[in-house]
């Protein structure tokens, strides 16, 4: 701990409080949209699609601005400011359109700050080591998510699952949001301009293109895989009380926290491709358990969702790091394609659920993820 740069510690606490606020919203927002605002699943899908697309696509632009023009901390501060202010405004919404606008603006803030923040962490961690730096930061990041989920659980348990309670939770996110903003403003220094300025190029070599092609199965899997918002609504539909839904998120997040480092070790030992076999198996299992429409199986599905999320992302990032020559460009394309496929998948899932029912939506997701998993197994040696 003594070797961790004080700016990394400060950014870690910024993420702790910001993610606490996000985790206070994530378990209840889908239920709020569908149950309280009486919007359809197709409209929830549009909310998820818009927010997902904005969050990931903007990372290309913010990363380029940081590299090209040397603007780093202002983007980070701007991103945290936007997120801190937009979350509590959800308490005033009365239809899916206003939710979609505010959620997109909040995710705009995340996209604005993500790449510059990673650039700051990398700069701070040059002496103590990038792995230790990012590992420490991720620990506080996930700890904030756990804290937020626990807070929501306690509030719902104490005050009930009423509309006023849910809107009150949205308003309450202003507190941790402003704490995080205060820390980043006054306790995090900008990195020297010389460390990150200078023109950058955008070109892809043959190795870069081959690396991107090897990730296509991940993008296709995201096209069919339910977003966690749809996992949440399914949980509500099978009879899990709203007060327990934050516990589902605690299950998923806890598993990611406990296994993230282990997956990193295993990726180095056995290779990312084998870990992705496990990832896609977990994702398919999560969808299959949802299809069974039983509360117990939904609980287990959230555990598999956590395993899929952490192992697949770690593995794909590792593939890019080990194979790509122009890593920045490839990472940018990676996030852009994640945005496109995940957003399109959320829209399709919501449309099918709304017009053909939950059984058909879960069957489509299970069939699609199963097909991608089998195709990946058959193509493994060629990748």
Mean pLDDT by runs of 10 across the 383 residues of the chain is: 74 91 90 90 84 74 72 88 93 91 88 77 62 65 86 90 91 94 90 55 74 92 90 89 87 83 76 91 95 93 92 80 69 78 88 90 94 93 76
- Number of separate helices (H) and strands (E) present in the chain: 16, 0
Cα separation of 116 and 64, whole Å? 9
pTM: 0.77
Cα dihedral 231, 135, 18, 147 in deg (nearest 10)? 60
- 8 Å CB contact between 353 and 42: yes
Report yes or no: 232 and 30 within 8 Å, Cβ to Cβ.
yes
Q: What is the pLDDT of residue 143?
A: 81
pLDDT of residue 85: 94
What is the CATH topology of the domain spanning 1-192?
Growth Hormone; Chain: A; (1.20.1250)
Angle subtended at Cα 53 by Cα 49 and Cα 54, rounded to the nearest 5 degrees: 120
pLDDT at position 196: 45
Report the C-alpha gap between 295 and 285 in whole angstroms: 15
Kindly report each contact of residues 30-35 with a partner whose C-beta sits within 8 Å and lies 24 or more positions away, as own/partner. Answer: 30/229, 30/230, 30/232, 30/233, 31/166, 31/232, 31/233, 31/236, 31/242, 31/245, 32/166, 33/96, 33/99, 34/233, 34/236, 35/236
Instruction: Provide the pLDDT for residue 133.
Output: 63
Residues in the chain: 383
Contacts of 212 (CB under 8 A, 6+ apart): 204, 330, 333, 334, 337
Q: What is the fold of 203-383?
A: Growth Hormone; Chain: A; (1.20.1250)
Are 64 and 370 within 8 A, CB to CB?
A: no
Report the pLDDT value the prediction gives residue 131, as an integer from 0 to 100.
47
Half-sphere exposure of 116 (CA within 13 A, CB side): 32
Give the pLDDT confidence score for residue 197 in this predicted structure.
46
Contact yes or no for 100/50 (Cβ under 8 A): yes
What is the rounded distance in angstroms from the CA atom of residue 263 to the CA atom of residue 282?
14
What is the C-alpha to C-alpha distance for residues 346 and 349, in angstroms, rounded to an integer? 5
In which residue ranges of the chain is CATH 1.20.1250.20 found? Answer: 1-192, 203-383
Query: What does the alpha-carbon distance between residue 230 and residue 235 come to, in Å, rounded to a whole number?
Result: 9
Closest listed residue to residue 221, CA positions, set 342, 47, 116? 342
């Amino acid at each position: 701990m003594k070797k961790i740069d004080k700016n990394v510690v400060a950014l870690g606490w910024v993420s702790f409080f910001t993610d606490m606020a996000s985790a206070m919203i994530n378990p209840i927002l889908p239920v709020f949209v569908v149950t309280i605002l009486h919007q359809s699943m197709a409209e929830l899908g549009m909310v998820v699609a818009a927010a997902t697309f904005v969050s990931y696509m903007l990372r290309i632009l913010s990363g380029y601005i940081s590299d090209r023009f040397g603007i780093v901390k202002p983007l980070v501060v701007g991103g945290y400011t936007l997120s801190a202010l937009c979350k509590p405004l959800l308490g005033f919404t009365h239809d899916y359109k206003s939710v979609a606008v505010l959620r997109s603006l909040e995710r705009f803030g995340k996209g604005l700050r993500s790449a510059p923040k990673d650039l700051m962490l990398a700069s701070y961690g040059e002496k103590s080591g990038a792995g230790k730096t990012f590992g420490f930061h991720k620990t506080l990041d996930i700890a904030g998510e756990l804290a937020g989920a626990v807070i929501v659980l306690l509030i719902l348990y104490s005050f009930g699952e009423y509309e006023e309670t849910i809107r009150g939770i949205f308003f309450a996110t202003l507190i941790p949001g402003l704490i995080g903003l205060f820390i980043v403003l006054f306790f995090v220094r900008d990195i020297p301009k010389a460390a990150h300025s200078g023109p950058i190029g955008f070109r892809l070599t043959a190795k870069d293109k081959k690396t991107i092609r090897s990730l296509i199965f991940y993008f296709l899997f995201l096209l069919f895989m339910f977003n966690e918002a749809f996992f949440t609504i399914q949980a509500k539909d099978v009879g899990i009380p709203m007060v327990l839904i934050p516990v589902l998120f605690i299950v998923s997040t806890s598993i990611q926290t406990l296994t993230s480092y282990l997956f990193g070790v295993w990726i180095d030992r056995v290779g990312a491709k084998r870990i992705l076999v496990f990832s896609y198996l977990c994702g398919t299992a999560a969808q299959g358990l949802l299809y069974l429409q039983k509360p117990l199986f939904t609980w287990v599905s959230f555990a598999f969702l956590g395993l899929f999320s952490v192992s697949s992302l770690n593995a794909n990032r590792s593939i890019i790091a080990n194979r790509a020559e122009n890593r920045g460009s490839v990472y940018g394309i990676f996030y852009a394609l994640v945005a496109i496929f995940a957003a399109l998948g959320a829209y399709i899932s919501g449309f099918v659920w709304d017009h053909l029912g939950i059984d058909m939506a879960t069957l489509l997701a299970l069939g699609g993820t199963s097909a991608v998993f089998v195709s990946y197994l058959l193509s493994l040696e060629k990748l």
